[in-house]
DNA sequence: AGCCAGGACAAGT
DNA sequence: ACTTGTCATGGC
């Protein structure tokens, strides 16, 4: 992979990109690291290999240089964004914990369906469900490799067929999403252009899509950096660090701040005391309720 | 064994 | 406008 052949590309200025932090921070679910620290994943119908050493990203298998440049959003100046976020102590800590996170520019439909699958689920299981969906409904693009299914395929399936992947109550949500996208009732171009709150409501036409899933779709699938998904982890972070919400100045890039915060509160050693404290609190609450009923 | 998970939704205060 | 129960499944 020394020089750029037909589908191998080199990105020399990766601005502090860290593949583990970016590909395993809960924004995407189809990338896998091997024992050497290299990554393999699927973008569109391409299986892509990634190797990052000494700040240089070597890619193999992509369609074009522009495809990867776009996917990793290399034209956005992350140094400047992180400087703005660093003005706030908690965000500064979160960024120094995992400074190599970038918000990927993923496919709209894939992101929409993936985050429908994400609801009330943990990340390992989301990965399994997405993989099962691709395996059962996606086009085979290689040896045991499947693209994410398109809206036509999913819209043409039944709820029972979708439920085969064991996604439970989410099966009918997927059908509804696929049909509304397929019929043009939900159009990514329109969603991308609407003001945030209207865009959230627009996507919430889909049964099973509320504010959280809408925000994830807007942020990860349409690169709306003002979208700020609030899940159980972000609620925890807010309770402890931003009881009055994020600073208003950060509104245009709240989504990026959110992703640093999410990874920080969920996995950083220095926030473990918060996770433990909440567990203890919950346990005590349960004991209290038990005592009342006796 | 039981709690929880990148929630949404309906029904109840 | 806020709480609560329910939904299907399996990771830990």
User: pLDDT digit string (tens) for A105-159?
Assistant: 999 999 999 999 999 999 999 999 999 999 999 999 999 999 999 999 999 999 9
Instruction: Indicate yes or no: strand B within 7 A of the C-beta of A216.
Output: yes
Check residue A185 and give its pLDDT. Answer: 98
CB A222 within 8 A of CB A255: no
Å between CA of A13 and C1' of C7: 47
Is the shortest CB-to-strand distance from A129 to strand B under 7 Å?
no
What distance in Å separates the CA atoms of residue A157 and residue A252, rounded to the nearest whole number? 38
In this structure, are residues A72 and A18 in contact, taking their beta carbons and an 8 Å threshold?
A: no
**A169: nearest nucleotide, CA–C1' criterion:** C8
**Closest-lying nucleotide for A170 based on CA to C1':** C8
Q: Give the helix/strand (H/E) hosting A70.
A: helix A65-71
Asked if A123 CB < 7 A from strand B, the reply is yes
Within 7 Å: CB of A288 and strand C? no
Per-residue pLDDT of chain A (294 residues; tens, 9 = 90+): 445 667 999 999 999 999 999 999 999 999 999 999 999 999 999 999 999 999 999 999 999 999 999 999 999 999 999 999 999 999 999 999 999 999 999 999 999 999 999 999 999 999 999 999 999 999 999 999 999 999 999 999 999 999 999 999 999 999 999 999 999 999 999 999 999 999 999 999 999 999 999 999 999 999 999 999 999 999 999 999 999 889 999 999 999 999 999 999 999 999 999 999 999 988 888 787 767 665
How remote is the C-alpha of A32 from its chain's centroid?
15
Q: Judge whether residue A122 contacts strand C, using its CB and a 7 Å cut-off.
A: yes
Q: Is the CB of A169 under 7 A from strand B?
A: yes
CA at A275, C1' at B11: how many angstroms apart?
A: 32
Residue A234: CB less than 7 A from any atom in strand B: yes
**8 A C-beta contact, residue A217 and residue A28:** no
Query: Residues A146, A139: contact at Cβ < 8 Å?
Result: yes
Q: What is the C-alpha separation between A102 and A78, in angstroms, rounded?
A: 8
Q: What is the value of pTM for the model shown?
A: 0.96
pLDDT tens-digit readout, A26-55: 999 999 999 999 999 999 999 999 999 999
């Amino acid at each position: 992979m020394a020089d750029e052949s037909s589908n191998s590309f080199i990105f020399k200025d990766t601005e502090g990109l860290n593949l583990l932090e970016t590909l395993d921070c809960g924004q995407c679910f189809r990338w896998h690291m091997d024992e050497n620290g290299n990554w393999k994943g699927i973008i569109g119908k391409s299986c892509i290999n990634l190797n990052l050493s000494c700040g240089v990203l070597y890619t193999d298998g992509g369609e074009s240089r522009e495809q990867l440049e776009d996917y990793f959003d290399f034209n956005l100046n992350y140094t400047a964004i992180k400087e703005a976020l660093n003005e706030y102590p908690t965000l500064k800590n979160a960024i120094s914990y995992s400074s190599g996170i970038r918000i990927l520019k993923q496919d709209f439909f894939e992101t929409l369906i993936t985050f429908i699958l994400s609801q009330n689920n943990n990340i390992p299981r989301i990965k399994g469900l997405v993989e099962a969906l691709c395996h059962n409904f996606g086009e085979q693009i290689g040896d045991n490799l499947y693209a994410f299914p398109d809206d036509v395929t999913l819209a043409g399936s039944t709820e029972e067929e979708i439920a085969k992947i064991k996604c439970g109550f989410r099966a009918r949500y997927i059908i509804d999403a696929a049909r509304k996208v397929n019929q043009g009732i939900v159009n990514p171009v329109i969603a991308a252009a609407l003001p945030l709150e209207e865009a959230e409501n627009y996507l919430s036409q889909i049964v099973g899509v509320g504010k959280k899933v809408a925000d994830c779709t807007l942020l990860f699938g349409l690169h709306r950096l003002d979208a700020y998904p609030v899940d159980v982890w972000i609620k925890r972070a807010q309770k402890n660090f931003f009881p009055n919400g994020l600073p208003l100045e950060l509104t245009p890039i709240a989504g990026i701040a959110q992703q640093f915060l999410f990874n920080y509160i969920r996995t950083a050693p220095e926030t473990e005391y918060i996770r433990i404290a909440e567990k203890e609190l919950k346990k005590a609450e349960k004991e209290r309720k038990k005592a009342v009923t006796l």
